[in-house]
Amino acid sequence: MAEQRTAKRRSFVEQRLGRLEHPGASARVGLADVSLRPRLGVKGIGTIGWMKRHAVTVPENDNLAVAHGAAMLVARLSPSEALLLDTGGGKVMERLAASLPPHGDGGAYPVPRMDTHGWFRLGGPDAPHLFAKLCAVDLRPEKFPNFSVAQTIAARLPVIIIRQNIKNAPHFHVLMDSASALYLWDCIVDAMAEFGGVVEADTDPRGDD
């Protein structure tokens, strides 16, 4: 008899670092590992068509994101690639993932972003200053509007950065190679010490904008 369901999904930071402490919240900058939140990549020439068929809101242009209802953020990475992030909980991501078989559907193919990419969330007024120590893109609120997407390099690591206002305050979703998640985590923790930044728990970050 096979040993069933003994394996548990763990976040990439926790997996490599061990137990993660959540000291609390910071007024200036907070970092949360939200890697356990569902997400899905869709890729291929049929991507936009597949999204429309499944009533997924499509951002107008590449490098833009849009809120799909209150629970999901949709980022368009290229004319043929999108990233769907569960930002508020719910079953919509599960349903969408189930509707996209591994072999594809009409030229749209699933990408296992749940496992290829780690996912951090950064918030607080000093978050752009923190990024200035890691990333050459100007992420200040007035230069990087809500729902902007930057596919860039932070700390010499390819990352996807998406801005989303949460409770009217700018937050940044950062997605990176899952194998390098702990590396980037350490870089961010080091960079945010200057601002009194703290590691926060993954609380429901439902967007309101």
Partner 1 sequence: MSGTRLPAPAGARLDRTRPLRFTFEGESYRGFTGDTIASALAANGVRVLSRSFKYRRPRGLYSAGSHEACALVQLPDEPNVPADRRLLADGMTITGQNYAGSLARDRGAWIARFEKFMPVGFYYRTFFRPRGIWRVWERVIRKRAGLGRVNPKTPHGYHDKAYAFADVAVIGAGPAGMAAALAAAEAGAEVTLIDENPEIGGALTYGRFDADGRAADEALKRLAKEVREHAAITVLTDAVCTGLYEDNWLAIDQGRRLVKLRARDIVVATGLQDGIMVFADNDLPGIVAATTVQRLIWHHGVLPGEVAVVATQDEWGYTAALDLAEAGAEVSAILDTRDKPSDSALAKLAEERGIEVLSGWMPERAEGETEIERISAVPVDEAARETEEPRNIECDLLCVSARPTPAAALFAQGGAKLPFDPARGVHLPTDLPPGLHAAGAVNGETDLKRVIADGERVGKAAIAGETKPARKTAKKTAKKTATTLPPQPMLEHPEGKSFVDLDEDLTIGDIRDTVALGYQDVQLLKRFSTLGMGTSQGRHANPPGVTVAAEARGDEIGQVGLTTARPPLAPVAFGTLAGRQFSPVRRTSIHRWHVEASAQMMVAGAWLRPAYYGPPDEAESRIQEEAVAVRRSLGLIDVSTLGKLELRGREAGAFLDRLYTFSYQKLAVGKSRYALMTDETGAIIDDGVVCRLGEEHFYVTATTGGVDEVYRTMLWWNAQWRLDVDITNVTAGYAAMNLAGPASRESLAKLCDDVDLGAEAFPYLGVREGHVAGVPARILRTGFVGELGYEIHAPTGFGLDLWQAFMRAGEDAGIRPFGVEAQRLLRLEKGHIIVGQDTDGLTHPYEAGMDWAVSKKKPFFVGGRSIDIMRARGLTRRLVGYQIENRDAPLPKECHLVIRNGEIAGRVTSSAVSPTLGHAIGLAYVPPELDAKDGKFEIRVEGARMVEATVVPLPFYDPENARQEL
Name the site residues for partner 1 (rule: CB under 8 A).
1-12, 15-18, 35-36, 43-45, 102-104, 107, 109, 111-117, 132-136, 138, 140, 143, 155-157, 177-180, 182-184, 187, 190-191
Least distance from partner 1 to the Cβ atom of residue 187, Å: 7
- What is the closest distance, in whole angstroms, from the C-beta atom of residue 108 to partner 1 in the complex? 9
Q: What angle do CA 115, 118, 119 make, to 5 degrees?
A: 125
CA distance 59 to 181: 27
Residues facing residue 160 across a β-bridge:
151, 175
**Min dist. Cβ of residue 4 to partner 1 (A):** 5
Closer to partner 1 by CB, 62 or 177: give it. Answer: 177
Which one, 117 or 121, has the nearer CB to partner 1? 117
Rounding to the nearest 10 degrees, give the CA dihedral for residues 129, 166, 87, 48. -80
Closest CA to 156 of 187, 182, 130, 110: 187
Nearer to partner 1, 143 or 206 (CB): 143
3-class DSSP assignment, residue 139: coil
Give the shortest CB-191-to-partner 1 separation in angstroms.
8
Strands 39-43, 81-86: pairing is antiparallel
